Amino acid sequence: MTAPTANHPAPEPSPSAAPPAPDPYTPPLASLGAAGLASEISAELGSRLRTVRLHGFRHPAAPPPALVAVAHGSRHPGAAPAVRALLARIRALRPGLPVHLGHLELDRPLLTDTLAGLRAPADATGPAGEVGEVVLVPLLFGHGHHVTRDLPAALAAAPHLTGRTAAPLGPHPLLVEALHARLLEAGLRTGPHRGGRPAVVLAAAGSRAARSARDTARTARLLSTRLGGVPVLPAYAHPSPATAPSGDAARRPSPIAAPPTVPEAVRTLVDRGHHPRDIAVAGCFAAPGHFADRCAALAPGPAAAPLGDHPALARLVLHRYDQAISARTGSGAEGIRAATVAV
């Protein structure tokens, strides 16, 4: 027989030639029926999927810890609406994140009541209502005793929860951004004008804790840089013994007073050559209240509004929450409970 070549191709098979014999291990599809065909397809898919490696597969994520924003509390009628507006902005920035509010005093809901009402969702690990996880984010601006003592104590008194306390809102560039914006809204002119030189008094509530005063001083330095070198002096709302007139109960020296007060800081800037009309006051206050009003009333020039629901402040609250989540320093409830985030 001559081998096929380019000039002599192999002959086409005869139409009458018998088709190849079927694979004895594969039954004809027509004989399987609908149920059998489905079974064969499932078996084939299962066989093939066993050879596939699922890179990056993740089990469904557990519900995120609840964010509990902790405000100081105030009887001022504008305080609660301002805090609620801030929380609404936080929820809009992070849809699906459970966000709650608790007050340390003077306003409801109190933090203890908020924590008592939190329970694990029904689909969480363990029986529903047994244990939940929270992050307390203080709407406070330094490491005072509320942050370092009161908040951890509130968590310790809520045994059905595991959680941690985030760092206070200051010092941080996002806080400075919000302060800067409120000062410009109030009319602060950062460049020389009419021969004047602008300056700022940064007012805070004050604390016995030395670290809190350092936090305020650092925020003042950051704000000065953001304002292009405008002098910024830290000051405190609590009257100091040197400036509180005797017999004035409203201005009686406080055991948590810290010098200088706002008037003292203003006098220092005047002594340095700043005209009073060029001296603005900005407050490290999340909402209107007694201290915020007092400091604004003492401003000889522009008085910045409380920070309220400024977008930078809302982002800062979420940033502190995220920091606390990523700073787990131990395992189990006790390790989580003990993790208080540093700046």
Q: Give the integer Cα–Cα distance in Å for 131 and 114.
A: 14
Q: Give the integer Cα–Cα distance in Å for 198 and 35.
A: 85
Note the pLDDT tens digit of each residue in 22-55.
Answer: 444 444 544 445 555 655 565 566 555 555 555 5
- Helix or strand run (H / E) with residue 234: strand 232-236
Among 185, 169, 266, smallest CA distance to 218 is for: 169
**What pTM did the predictor assign?**
0.73
Among 159, 155, 160, 138, smallest CA distance to 147 is for: 138
User: Which whole number is the average pLDDT over 93-113?
Assistant: 94
The pLDDT value recorded for residue 328 is 60
The pLDDT value recorded for residue 331 is 29
Label residue 107 by pLDDT band (50, 70, 90): confident
Note the pLDDT tens digit of each residue in 277-329.
Answer: 999 999 999 999 999 999 999 999 999 999 999 999 999 999 999 999 998 63
The pLDDT value recorded for residue 34 is 59
Note the pLDDT tens digit of each residue in 180-197.
Answer: 999 999 999 886 666 679
Q: What average pLDDT is seen over the chain?
A: 79
Q: Give the integer Cα–Cα distance in Å for 168 and 140.
A: 5
Label residue 167 by pLDDT band (50, 70, 90): very high
Residue with tokens 């908020």: 114
Whether residue 236 has pLDDT greater than 70: yes
